Amino acid sequence: MTDRFSMSSARLGRYLLLGVAASALCAGAAQAEPLDLTILLVNDFDRMDESDGQGGFARMMAVVNDEIASAEGGTVLLAHGGDAISPSLLSSFDNGAHMIELLNQTPLAVMVPGNHEFDLGADVAIARFNEANFPIVSTNTSLNGEVVDGTVDTHTVEVGGYTIGFLGLTTPDTVQLASPGDIEFAPVLETAEATAAELREGGADIVIALAHTAIDEDFELIRQGAVDIILGGHDHNLMTFYNGDVAFAESGSQAEYVTAIDLTIDRVGEGEDEELVWTPSFRTLNTANYEPDAEMAAKVQTYLDQLSAELDIEIGTTETPLDSRRATIRGEEAAIGNLIADAIRDAVDAEVGLTNGGGIRADREYAAGTVLTRRDIQSELPFGNKTVKLEVTGEQIVEALENGFSQVEEGAGRFPHVSGMTVTADLSQPPGDRVVEVLVDGQPIDPDATYTMATNDYMASGGDGYTALAGSVNLIDPSAANFMASQVIDYIEEKGTISPEVEGRIVFQ
């Protein structure tokens, strides 16, 4: 496979050869001296600003700048393991353009598409790929039998007399997790084996796979041994691994940490006895320990200001009053709770919807006729929760509802708001024995039947006492999910006018 990304030597210097003397680049393989190469990895990085003093572009750039300054003539390479343009609140307005624009202002050397690059459809993904001034390596994707526009099959770079080859792998589950349209995803292992062999035949000394794949696929790649280094993404794991043959790293998410892989590459022996040797070591760099880069922080603030302007945009009118006061959403059926549960259920096409009152936070009333803004919805749903789609039994649903009603007297945030079902409860009974009846689509719930449920990622992981949901089959898990706030905004915008009411979805007897 050929590298279809064309760049000048000047641009190559911007991407990769930071701190390397030009003469080292021109040296032939036979004259190559030992090479010190540092790979910096970020992945699953769609949030541009920091959170609680960690992550975001400005702190990531501080790490990169520090590594470049301390390289002492070595090479520093910044790589991205995928998931950038979605999901974020601003990406719901600009289709992720701001993330590519910010990445263009970093010394990013190479990136692989993650499944979230395809959330907004193939056309948007291709548009973003073509805006990047860094190579996006996507070996196992194709469109109508051709390389996806804006990406390359492979990428090779000469560094200090050594050839570094890259291939990119995106999980085939993207067809279920996102909306890639007609883009196809070839099997991971077969692609890695064939492409690594081609890269080595073409002279690559080290083969690196950028792999936005699940952890089980990562370890299959490790056991396969076709590549030397795997730069991972997708699972949000913070981990490194080396079995003596293959090195692996994944850097959590949101650039809260940057993983540094330090490599020493050398050739030993002469003639037919010559062989390449390399050794890795790992450093986990907590971005909370770095002062944000002022220049990048200013650029991020520009987009935050833009987001603020976007949030003050009108999205629709509520023809009925809404009440998100704490006592209401934690103690009884609420029209706004019904609205949110309906919106997330509609967004993922689930049979039932369930969300917790504690996640609804603005604590205010909206009179009938109020024109709602994006800021209103973001204020109601400020936690950045995402909507997942679970496969659950009727028994699990009842257990979850029992938890939801277990602390009503205390005003607990676990109070349930539902869609697609009607629940009768008796609060005079002890917790755990309060659910009297559950109807799904008008029919009594079947404890043994399987239903699809839309809920938030917090509850799905057992948060707020919803342990009955933990461990359920995730049809849309958190790593592939979209923000609840964005889905509610889209729901209201599509309808223009809404009229949610308290309609007897939750009845106390």
In a domain, 144, yes or no: yes
Q: Are residues 282 and 325 in the same domain?
A: no
pLDDT-based confidence at 39, cuts 50/70/90?
Answer: very high
Residue 415 pLDDT greater than 70, yes or no: yes
Among the listed residues 281, 294, 315, the one whose alpha carbon sits nearest the alpha carbon of residue 92: 315
What is the predicted pLDDT for the residue at 492? 98
Residue 21 pLDDT greater than 60, yes or no: no
Sequence length of the chain is 509
Which residues make Cβ contacts (< 8 Å) with residue 71, sequence separation at least 6? 18, 19, 36, 38
Pick the range with the lowest mean pLDDT from 84-98, 128-142, 393-407: 84-98
What is the tens place of the pLDDT at every residue in 212-256?
999 999 999 999 999 999 999 999 999 999 999 999 999 999 999
Final residue belonging to a domain, choices 306, 333, 361: 306
What is the predicted pLDDT for the residue at 90? 86
Q: What is the mean pLDDT of residues 102-113?
A: 98
Tokens of 261: 């892989």
In a domain, 1, yes or no: no
What is the predicted pLDDT for the residue at 216? 95
In a domain, 99, yes or no: yes
What is the tens place of the pLDDT at every residue in 343-392?
999 999 999 999 999 999 999 999 999 999 999 999 899 887 899 999 99
Running DSSP on this structure, what letter comes out for residue 129? H
Average pLDDT, whole number, for the chain? Answer: 92
Pick the range with the lowest mean pLDDT from 101-115, 312-326, 465-479: 465-479
- At 380, the amino acid letter reads E
Residue 5 pLDDT greater than 50, yes or no: no
Tokens of 419: 């869609």
Q: Are residues 300 and 330 in the same domain?
A: no
Q: What is the mean pLDDT of residues 187-193?
A: 98
pLDDT-based confidence at 137, cuts 50/70/90?
Answer: very high
Final residue belonging to a domain, choices 250, 279, 306: 306
Question: 157 forms bridges with which residues in the sheet?
Answer: 164
In a domain, 128, yes or no: yes
Range of the domain at 479: 313-508
Burial class, 317, CB count within 10 angstroms (exposed 0-12 / middle 13-18 / buried 19+) = middle
Residue 51: which CATH number? 3.60.21.10
What is the predicted pLDDT for the residue at 89? 79
In a domain, 107, yes or no: yes
Q: What is the mean pLDDT of residues 455-479?
A: 91
Is there a cis peptide before residue 430, judged by omega within 30 degrees of 0? no
Q: Are residues 262 and 351 in the same domain?
A: no
Domain count for the chain: 2
